A and B are shown apart, each in its own frame.
Chain A
């Protein structure tokens, strides 16, 4: 077994056993880390593979969450069925945006702004959709929190943790498989030199759209998780640009286009933010804004000194191939 695989399995084992040793607060932080790692991995497919910068990924989280949430709220349909609607809607949205962008030749900054515009438009729009709760939000009823009711995705925090762990692991395996497949080669070729790729028979439109579809589908699932984990949905929160930003910070800090980057980045950023917040409170310096200033400064340091992300540099040090 190669070193990287052994390392990953060890990490997985560690994360599986971890809950035995930690309290509920740390468990919730870790669940958040995994949520962001998973979402970041999904975002990375579009950015790292297809080279399209999406600054509006909150759109898919929100639509996915509301789709499954509404089905549960009105018809009592559980998340396992609801996720199909969520994925369907988000893939349709993603393909629509992607198609519009390619059809009208929008790329770079303009594409990024287009994604922001769609997310913002939807955010304000959902505020006005009464039957989804409007600005006051949609609340999913929680039957119980004690036993693992997988069908309705209700249970103790531990259940959510393991579900997210499984999702993150699955996403990692999926992306690893994709990278080694024809899709992975073609995506890299398109990113390196689209004209040359086309001359070799690569239909760049098709492959870019595929990346977008996969990315939006994966993000839809995280939205469904969000709905059934937090049990309340507010357009202001879920479609907000800060949601999009927290998804993409992990992969950018960790390393775009790499497999482990999104996971490492999500962990680093979340743990730093939470750790700082705790440290400051312990020191009695609970000034609003202090934590995020520090966060901003760290982000600044990373982007200036490690522009390709932390993982490539770290991997080199460890003698691994990113």
Chain B
């Protein structure tokens, strides 16, 4: 589904991402982990069209999407959430999702129906008329996911969706993602620091360090990888 091939990106001389390559098969849940500053969000931003890679290619379903604008990337089938949530604060919860739904729906009416369905799925239906600014952080995250899902993506990019959530909230979120993945076959690529979530969700993990992919494999393989333990997980993670 998603193929990142030898992608590099520098910012004013600082190499953020260096020759990164990985594959996310259709229907898979992939994780991207690594220390802060490793280049994870930069890769996301390149997939999502915010940055243009200096070299390399990004393909979605065989089509190149690197260099496209963010709205074009969305049209190609990619949905994303942000590390720091960006709700449309002045709009209601429902209207937030309607904006997303309008991407695929022709009329405002059908977009509203679609949006309501999304809110149901994420458990926010009761709060649909609340201003988005009044939501708690976990709810804002759910809103952002509902909004992205409303664009009917084939690939969902989740940027640290678990940050700031308590363990029970985190487990609930993991459930939601599992359901979306199994029910709709949605491919998910997630950046995470919360290992609990990564281990529970991801079938494959890539590890980034200083802009390079230093390890790839199943969760079990990766947590035993000495290089990963060295740079990120620490000695205590040795199982």
Contact = CB atoms under 8 A, between A and B. Distances in A.
A180 B50 CA distance: 29
Given A181-B108, A185-B99, A202-B99, A196 B75 contact: no
B71 interface: yes
A199 interface: yes
Interface string A171-191: 000000000111001101100
Nearest to A207: B71
Contacts of A193: 86-89
Given A189-B88, A192-B89, A193-B88, A200 B108 contact: no
B91 A189 contact: yes
Given A182-B108, A189-B88, A189-B91, A199 B70 contact: yes
A189 B95 CA distance: 9
A200 B79 CA distance: 7
B148 A186 contact: no
B90 A192 contact: yes
Nearest to A197: B99
Interface residues of A, number: 19
A203 B102 CA distance: 12
Contacts of A195: 50, 70, 82, 86
Given A181-B108, A188-B88, A189-B88, A200 B147 contact: yes
Nearest to B89: A192
Interface string B65-80: 0000111101100011
A180 B102 CA distance: 12
Given A193-B88, A200-B147, A200-B151, A185 B70 contact: no
Contacts of B82: 195-196, 199
A122 interface: no
Contacts of A23: none
A182 B88 contact: no
Interface size of B as a range: 20 to 34
A201 interface: yes
B100 A200 contact: yes
Given A185-B95, A186-B102, A188-B88, A201 B108 contact: no
B155 interface: no
Contacts of B100: 200-201
Given A200-B74, A201-B103, A185 B90 contact: no
A198 interface: yes
Contact of B98 (A185, A199, A201, A203): A185
Contact of B103 (A180, A192, A196, A200): A200
B95 A198 contact: no
B48 interface: yes
A276 B19 CA distance: 72
A152 interface: no
A232 interface: no
Given A188-B91, A189-B88, A203 B108 contact: no
B116 to A, nearest CB: 15
Most buried by B among A185, A189, A192, A199: A199
B190 to A, nearest CB: 16
A204 interface: yes
A202 B74 CA distance: 9
Contacts of A204: 71
Contacts of B80: 199
A312 to B, nearest CB: 12
Contact of A203 (B69, B99, B150): B69
A198 B99 contact: no
A204 B69 CA distance: 10
Contact of A199 (B48, B90, B108, B111): B48
A201 B48 CA distance: 11
A110 to B, nearest CB: 23
Interface in B111-132: 111
B75 A201 contact: yes
A185 B102 CA distance: 9
A186 B87 CA distance: 14
A307 B142 CA distance: 32
Contacts of B95: 185, 188
Interface string B52-76: 0000000000000000011110110
A201 B89 contact: no
Contacts of A180: 108
Interface of A: 180-182, 185-186, 188-189, 192-193, 195-204
Which are the 9 A-B pairs with shortest beta-carbon distances?
A201-B74, A196-B86, A201-B103, A192-B88, A198-B70, A189-B99, A203-B71, A200-B100, A193-B86
5 contacts: A189-B88, A189-B99, A199-B71, A199-B82, A200-B71
Given A195-B82, A203-B72, 11 more contacts: A182-B102, A185-B99, A185-B108, A192-B88, A192-B90, A196-B86, A196-B87, A199-B70, A200-B151, A201-B71, A202-B99
